[in-house]
Amino acid sequence: MSAVTDAAPRAARPHPLGQSVRDSLVVAKRNLIRMSRIPEMIIFGLFQPIMFVVLFSYVFGGSINVPGAGLSASGYREFLMAGIFAQTVTFATAGAGAGIADDMHKGLIDRFRSLPMARGAVLTGRTLADLVQTALTLVVLAVVAVLVGWRTHENVGKVLAGFGLLLLLGYAFSWIGALIGLSVRTPEAATSGGLIWLFPLTFISNAFVPSDNMPAFLQTIADWNPFSATVQACRELFGNLPAGYPVSDAWPMQHPVLASLLWSLLILVVFRTLAVRKYRSATA
């Protein structure tokens, strides 16, 4: 009789992985509902990338010499867009960090902790919701890019693969934001901490200008920058590399798709591990 009664709870106990997935989706749904009720969060999040597209296209287009395209404004727009897309998904890091810091500050994390749910589900659900918002932003940004003259020259499969790499990079970086959000005391500090390191990361890269014009040491940094690998991969997959464009001998630039995938997975694994560990210690 005792064996039967002991076996029943064990049989009813959910599998840890299944519970973690379910809990993560519940938290993601909660955050998506919250975003839908505060539409200005999404609207204001679109302003910066749209301004970058318009300003860089019309202010710098025709002024920056892109090898293989010269001073052509249309050539620069096609060269530029992969960089703008990548910058947009990485800058979402600051929002992710601020959101988690806000939840910590308001005590919401403590309420989640009191529930019988997987510990990592809170962060996973938050980052999944941020991924959905990033995907919507990319869709709007792509429409704006087409309106200002951006075009792709590869098949649909390659174009979708390029956007997939962008979303993977953005998701990986959102875990950096999660770690920052758990490590600071206020949402304002999380926003500042989430942006201050992104500017050198995105500008010491091949996103806006060819890296071969940089000093040698900066060119090496740019060529091995994970951000640059994704930008270069997207240019190849979108068909936006000008004919005759000189490609660096650095391994990430010679194999940008593989390099982008490896960099994103490495960042995801490392910072998810650190963020979940920080979350457990912060709520212990």
Q: Are 62 and 73 in contact (CB under 8 A)?
A: yes
Burial 109-139 (b: 16+ CB within 10 A, else e): beebbeeebbbbbbbbbbbbbbbebbeebbe
Residue 158 and residue 254: Cα distance in Å, rounded?
17
Share of the chain above pLDDT 90, in %: 34
User: Whole-number mean pLDDT of the chain?
Assistant: 83
What average pLDDT does this structure show over 58-84? Answer: 77
**pLDDT tens figures, 150-193:** 899 999 999 999 999 999 999 999 999 999 988 887 888 888 88
Q: Helix, strand, or coil here: 273? A: helix
Residue 127 and residue 132: Cα distance in Å, rounded?
9
Q: Are 125 and 31 in contact (CB under 8 A)?
A: yes
Residue 5: Cβ-neighbour burial (10 angstroms; 0-12, 13-18, 19+): exposed
Other beta carbons less than 10 A from residue 16's beta carbon: 9
Residue count (the chain): 284
What's the angle, vertex CA 97, arms to CA 94 and CA 98, rounded to 5? 85
Phi, psi at 164, each rounded to 5°: -65, -40
Is the confidence at residue 11, as pLDDT, over 70?
A: no
**pLDDT tens figures, 99-115:** 888 877 777 776 776 67
**pLDDT tens figures, 126-142:** 899 889 989 988 998 99
Please give the pLDDT value at position 8. Answer: 44
Instruction: Give 56's DSSP letter.
Output: I
As a 3-state breakdown, the chain gives helix, strand, coil percent values, each rounded to 5, of 75, 0, 20
User: What global pTM score does this model have?
Assistant: 0.86
Q: Which of 27-36, 83-92, 101-110 has the lowest mean pLDDT?
A: 101-110
Is the confidence at residue 197, as pLDDT, over 50?
A: yes
Is the confidence at residue 258, as pLDDT, over 50?
A: yes
The per-type count for the chain, helices as H runs and strands as E runs, is: 13, 0
Residue 22: Cβ-neighbour burial (10 angstroms; 0-12, 13-18, 19+): middle
Instruction: Name the amino acid, one letter, at 179.
Output: L
